[in-house]
Chain A
Amino acid sequence: MAALTTTQSAPTPDAPQRAPRRLGFSQALGRWDVKVSPYLYVSPFFVLFALTGLFPLAYTAVVSVYDWNLLGGQGTYVGMQNYADVLGQETFWKSLVNTLSIFLLSAVPQIVIAITLAALLDQNIRNATFWRMGVLVPYVVAPIAVSLIFGRLFADQYGLINDILGTFGLDQIGWHRDRFASHVAVAAMVNYRWTGYNALIFLAAMQAVPRDLYEAATIDGAGPWRQFFSVTVPQIRSTVIFVVLTASIGGLQIFDEARLFDAGGLGGADRQWMTTVLYLYDVAWGNQRDLGRAAAVAWVLFVLILLIGFGNFLLSRRIASSATRTPRVRRSVTRRLLAEARAAGNADTTASTTTVRRDS
């Protein structure tokens, strides 16, 4: 943007030298066009990101070092006190454990089921579009509606699931009473909503896998399982990483489902299923009314999400790439063969070396 303003002011000082200036100006314009325009073209994203991403980020950091009441507004500067308060609250740590537990219970099955679903939808099935759109239906349903329906299913005493368990003579599960059971229930809502969506992303990636790879694999005698693990998974690697990351970010920010799981909306009397975002909300808009502390929670959560997101990125990159290691063995064999060939003084050597290098 700054470069653009200089564009207009630059020509004015040397007005008398008309001809060269014109030439220089149009040249400069052309040069700037090449240099500046690309940035202008991509700037809308960054401007928006600065406004809706960076600014809140920085402002939240400012709020987090003040005593800041929801209704009373900005108070005195308290430094790191809000962070100390938050980290000293047992509920914060409880919410963190809940969040991680719900995150694992939702992200892992979600990705496994989504990738399986996608593999099934990738087959030659009848009415393919119908099935493919079908998996997206839960995503379209509003989370509030999902929560209402699942609330009926997971009610402790008169819920559908417990009724069914009862008819089989099984013990009722305390979906709200028991901490782990409540996590399963909340994770079920999350999975219901996101599995189909992720399946479609996987499906899109799978459809972009060149079909001749499968043909070659079939000719080599690979069965469907072998094809899935040795062709499909490595080929959609970057998509897997993307989905794992978005699922991690989403999983650590679960709010609606947990908030609507009971009438109180605060994660149960013992905070059995209070997630960290729900805790943040309670600190700010609940009885503490403390935006300063809530901002501190937001920053702690932000750092945590970055760490976990980065960890998952490394992890999924390694898992997804392990399958592609097989050719390396073959390459070393090729290299040895080439070395032997070079030693033999064959005329073809130079040509084949270059091909190999381009490959590696």
Chain B
Amino acid sequence: MNRRTLMASAAIGLTLAFGGTAHAQGMDKVKACFVYVGPVGDGGWTYQHEQGRLALQAEFGDKVDASTYQENVPEGADAARVLTQMALGGCNIIFTTSFGFMDATNEVAGKFPNVKFEHATGFKRDHENVSSYNARFYEGRAVQGVIAGMMTESNKIGYIGSFPIPEVIMGINAYYLAAKEVNPDVELSVVWAYTWFDPAKEADAAKAMIEQGVDVVAAHTDSTAPLAEAAKTPGVIGFGQASDMTAYKPSPRVSSIIDNWAPYYIERVGQLLDGTYEQADTWAGIKDGEVEIGEITEAVPAEVKAAAEKMRDDIAAGTHHPFTGPINKKDGTVWLAEGETAPDGDLLGMSFFVEGITADIPK
């Protein structure tokens, strides 16, 4: 046994001793740690998680130590190393905030049964101490789709996708369906950037779309670069993604999807403190305040704003589901019959475009 494994097992022993007994009656002090895929200053996805972390620290003060976080962690083997280091460093609960951390999270969770792992946007919970949490971003996409469908002059709207994973695909489908509903002539272009965060590439993707006549650009990547690119061409609009991105108000940013993770982080760490923590799979949306629609600016006409706000309110009230039949898959087969709404299982494993989208999903 070399020194490293010795230290690792000693640390496991320690967590067993303290964590094990503490779990039943709650804990006096929780160390919460965060793993980020981008820099906290990306102005989007990671920035919002960082805001959640700061809110957590403010909420509990001395009872929670949320000072540990790591930025720019690559999805893959490096993530497992970072997680192991955090678990050994005495973290009681670790939030891993990107889809690509899923396997690493589950792998490391198996080795540290007394550390709680919370993985964002994934679906694997191989061990009792792994929970997953996600937000119904597609609800926000439907609101954006309404704006896009009504605002486009060229009838060409675009979507910069990161990776062809269910979360992104359902966002594209929701965006398209809502746009198609208000504007039957609308065409959707999809570009896969194959990155969550590469501002130069995101900007180039937006540029390529705009050059081909797309005048509404939605992005499913993490930086503000697509909006910076859209700002160069008058008449092109876009949306804040993950964060409000107010620097680009009132145009090109006409609205936004804001991820509000703070309530979830506070709830989960609070449960750990008072001993009510249990494994969970949370998927909250507009109704629960986890997905917020940023201010719709005066750059869009009042009736567009009203239609978008109606969509938002209907979704919040539960009277409208963005995926309501009849909807066919791209290959023409029936997915949802008239009046049927999509089951969560279908959405979480979504690997097809709906009828009307001409782009293909790369295999």
Partners in one complex: no
> Which residues of A pack against B, CB within 8 Å?
none
